[in-house]
Amino acid sequence: MNQPRKHAVVTGGGSGVGEAIALKLADESNLVTILGRRKEPLKIVANKHKNINWKVCDISKSEEVKNCYNGIRSAYGNINIVIANAGVADSKPFHKMSVSDITSLMEVNLIGVFNAFQSAFEDMKADNWGRMIAIASTAGLKGYSYVSAYSASKHAVVGLIKSLAIELAGKGITVNSVCPSYIDTPMTDRTIKNITEFGLFVGLEDDIDGMVHLSDIDWNVSGEEAIKNYKKGDVVTAGVSEIDVEKERISLSIKMLGKDQFVDAVDGIKRGAIITVEVTAIEEGGIEVNCNGMKSFIRRSDLSRDRAEQRPDKFTVGDKVDARVTSLDSKSRKIGLSIKAREIAEEKEAVEQYGSTDSGASLGDILGAALKDQDEK
């Protein structure tokens, strides 16, 4: 026995994830109405499948959504499924955000979901069956740098979904959210129009160019090296780091959307801590080591407190060594390490705990007592 087809509404159905969802629902013999702010992309998607209809609608405006739903309900029947996919994303350092920045995100990402769901609720209640699904984000589960407003809006969506799911339990209406990570869609794609010695010029909407400075291309290599990986016409993903209205300049950043290895490497590490690192290269001036995925360098003079033992060649690639963290410089993105500092700190601690050379004990005796105590523990 064939199941009666459902009427599904997909907000933000003119491209990307919304388009893919609409086409899948239509393939499953559902009647689909896609909503969006712009007519052209909606028409293009609707022309791809006979089961898809379209309607221009700003889901952030409550009355507009109600009127829109009344129209499509009259034309195609009760609304049984709502996929709240429409959303906007923006990136900006917190200290440069304005109230309007976070308000505009909340209006679409949160209020838009609320409007899309509430306007279909009576249909689902009458049919004793309904599906409400919000396309949220991993940003609704944890935080990310430079997208605090976006993350706040998605956290709010997840909170709304959890509460609504409990409220409607047992009524035949299920409420869920999907929290994907980064998805490559046209909303985040931009084309490189020009490359200069200062960085990349990227084409935005309305013939406006944004600039990715050399320092904003990659976390882990110099801008001069990173820019060699790009050419004119390449499509890149970048976030807005600053908008200067007076100078009519938009600054973009590619690296802000990527993983900052330095932050991960120093997570939980403080200056003065003793950590274990792995030797990755032997050089004349010292040894290169891996510290939680970040490269660091221990200079020859820091290899031992004993000058005679300050020899890089006594180490082998793959060796695990303990070193003291002497500095954490987020600006230069360097972790300062010293085996010598660790040895001095250990000797000082041993002297304080087990005696001093003034009492007649040799330094060897003191360290021997400390080592014996550690073995017994």
Please list the active-site residues: 150
CA pair distance 225, 177, nearest whole angstrom: 41
- Which has the closest alpha carbon to 119: 44, 69, 162? 69
How far from 136 is each of 19, 34, 81, 83, 156, CA to CA, in Å?
Answer: 16, 18, 17, 11, 10
**Backbone dihedral region for residue 296 (phi beyond 0: left; psi -120 to 50: alpha; all else: beta):** beta
Please compute, for residue 56, the number of CA atoms within 13 A of its CA located in the half-sphere on the CB side.
6
What DSSP character marks residue 6?
A: P
Strand pairing report for 334-338 and 286-291: unpaired
Alpha helices in 325-362 (DSSP H): 339-354
Tokens 């084409």, located at residue: 203
Q: Are 108 and 64 in contact (CB under 8 A)?
A: no
Q: Which residue has the tokens 């017994």?
A: 376
Contact 204, 195 (CB under 8 A): no
Coil/strand/helix, residue 5? coil
